[in-house]
Structure 1
Amino acid sequence: MTVGPRPRTLVPGDYLWCGCGRSGAGALCDGRDAGNSCRQQRRFTVTPRSGTVWLCECGRTGTPPWCDGRHNHPPNDSAA
């Protein structure tokens, strides 16, 4: 099963994107990994002009926190 982005309409402000996958809030960091010093967080700002945003939910994006479609392509498996 692939995980894709969900459209989100966020109020203007600063947010933390979760790259570790432990958040119960999907792509937004909820602090669950605070004790493990998550280094995969990304701070981002939503402006009044941002509108609907597409945040990466699979953690594989090359442009965090934004989805770049990598969830549509399986990772290279050199063991196959």
Structure 2
Amino acid sequence: MKEIDRLIAQLFPAENGGSKVLDLKFFPGEQAVTVEEFCKEVHAAFVQVDSGQSHVSASYPEELSPVHVDRFLATA
């Protein structure tokens, strides 16, 4: 089974017991990864949460600093 198939099965199980994915975002890191590598890491993270190996939080504290769009684009 390919990693993308494992991730899809984790996100959208055939028998989901009423659960659903409401909002899920991924942001690019500093280095390129393949689809296979990405799916493997995301699947592993979900398995850790579902098995109780990882702490689940209801919120994510954000400390935002405004940055002018020209400065942001210049670093890309």
**TM bucket, shorter chain:** under 0.3
Under a length normalisation based on structure 2, what TM-score does the superposition of the two structures give? Answer: 0.27
Under a length normalisation based on structure 1, what TM-score does the superposition of the two structures give? Answer: 0.26
Q: Which has the higher helix share?
A: 2
Q: Which has the higher strand share?
A: 1
Instruction: Give the number of the structure whose alpha-carbon radius of gyration is greater.
Output: 2
